[in-house]
Amino acid sequence: MNQSKKLVSKIIPLIIALLIITLGIVWGIKTTNDKLEIPFSSVEEILQNQNGKPVVLTEHSDGSLLLEVGSIKYESHVPPNSQMIDRLVENYNINYSFTNSSRFGKWIMAGVILALVGTALVLQKTKGGFGLSNSMKNSVSQARPLPNTRLEDVGGIGDEMKEEILQTLSTLKEPERAIKMGIKPPKGILLYGPPGTGKTLLAQAIARELNAAFFSASGSAFNELFVGVGASRVRSLFQSARKQSPAVIFIDEVDALAGKRKAHGGEEAEKTLTELLVQLDGGHSNDGILFIAATNRKDMLDEAFLRPGRIDFTFQVPLPDTKGRREIIDIHTKGKTISEEVLASLDALAESTSGFSGAELQSLFETASRRAVRNGQDALTKGDLDYALDRTILGSTSRSLQDLDTKRRVAIHEAGHAIVASLTKPGSVRKATIIPRGEALGYVAPIPKELHLSTTSDLLDRVAMVLAGGVAERLLLGEHSIGVSGDVQQAKQIIEQMVDTGMLQGGFTLTFNKQDKEAKMQELFEKGLETAENLIKSHHHQYQQLVDSLLKKETLEGYEVEEIVWGKTPVKSDEFFA
């Protein structure tokens, strides 16, 4: 801010001085004018005295007239809206011309050009280069404050990966010992994996462990419209890091900088990449400098960038498993006031959030904490976490269903999903509700499990569960609604995958004919419908109670669904189907 004020204080006086000089020149020219000033009434008299000799008359847009008679020049002004000029041109031998430019226009333009040149010179002298490009270079070549994140603060990292990182850091912390063992310190590390898995945190933790100057930038920060700016930024960044060794250079979203080069080449982005390759391993001394890059798209990176000598270690940072999620949950619950019920259910939470990244788990607890504060609570409750889970997975809650017919249809639909899910996979339902959330009018929230190898039976059960909502609507109401469209598409994807991989009930059979493939898909679809219908009909008492409970409570927790389906609470014996 102070530098900007100093710069402005230098530029403004320069511009004022140049404008004064320009005005002075214009005034001097005007006062030393050798033209004779005459009134407009005298112009015609002069033309009459020429007796038919040619004269030159120039009219300016500001109303001034310049009359040239031989070597004598006269200056006059035409009255506003006067037609006298046209009459004079018709009656006398006049070479007439009209110009839009001012008589002093070229002098004013010269003053503007002088002002711009002077400003550029001031910038050049002040910053040692043109301010724009120099500020671009400085924007990424300054060290950031050393992060407070340590390795123990980063959860969800596998034991093997953590051990390899520590081994890598030991060669950087003890270079002399590493040299005795014939080991060269690594020059570059690549971290890749899905968004939100902690790649940036890991880079900050590494810088903290090394107690090194930390330079951080995004890959897109090196891509500019101006020719040579990107390469200049890369060069400036490494020069600054060498001066402050030991240093860590971290570039996030490096695919924007080190993407694969095209065949024809010559683009500005490729020149920037070439400069990065040279700085990493092109004869420069990078002792004490560790380059760390992070990306979600490793497949987009240039092979020359990935080769050993530039990137010596590549670490995949995957989505955390159950153990990793439990570590992340411990980190985000530290310092929070949590109820005993929540503390007892954290292991179950880690198991039921399969597929969540570290960032999503953080968002989960922030959402739950905001709800607790809004409700005036002193501690985080299980209800807060349930709300946060639904909010994270499905989106915000819309208004409750007011139409009774629609509400009953949604209850019938969701009860169909819930009973088939509970019968085919006991304990797989976390919640069933008819409260709209996101684009869904109701939903049955499953308990996600870790990735496993699904069998044909597993996939058929899943197809039956997905189709059970529409089946229930047809059984009770005679026809299904458009609300089953998403279910049908999901079932179609599963069935198509089964046929493509030969996962059929008759054995391992691949089908290459399109007609046969469609026939087998139709067979599996009908099998799913049949399974769902049989399960609902054979457990119609439990199903009726699920519908009644959903209409009454609107939301059923997983344990309530299990109690109803597996007969742990009384059920009505009313005949449900006609």
Q: Give the catalytic positions in this structure.
A: 414
Q: Give 280's contacts (C-beta < 8 A, 6+ positions apart).
A: 187, 188, 286, 291, 305, 309, 310
β partners of residue 216: 250
DSSP-assigned letter for residue 196: T
Q: Widest CA span of the chain, in angstroms?
A: 127
Q: Give buried/exposed letters for 91-108 (b at 16+ CB in 10 A, else e).
A: ebebeeeeeeeebbeeee
401, 529, 394: which is closest to 469 by C-alpha? 529
Q: How far is CA 431 from the centre of its chain?
A: 32
Taking the CB of residue 187, how many other CB atoms lie within 10 A of it?
18
β partners of residue 508: 503
Strand 443-446 and strand 429-433: pairing?
antiparallel
Please name the amino acid found at residue 483. Answer: G
CA 537 – CA 548 distance, rounded (Å): 16
CA 97 – CA 57 distance, rounded (Å): 7
Sheet holding 64-69, edge to edge: 36-37, 72-77, 64-69, 55-60, 94-99
Structure tokens belonging to residue 434: 């008819």
* Alpha helix positions (H), 255-357: 268-281, 303-306, 322-333, 340-344, 346-352
What are the start-end ranges of the E strands in 332-490? 429-433, 443-446
β partners of residue 248: 214, 290
Long-range contacts of 554-560 (CB under 8 A, 24+ apart): 554/400, 554/433, 554/434, 554/435, 555/431, 555/432, 555/433, 555/434, 555/435, 556/418, 556/431, 556/432, 556/433, 557/430, 557/431, 558/427, 558/429, 558/430, 558/431, 558/447
461, 434, 459: which is closest to 445 by C-alpha? 434
CA 105 – CA 177 distance, rounded (Å): 75
Contact (CB, 8 A) for 565 and 423: yes
Can you tell me which residue has the tokens 């320009």? Answer: 22
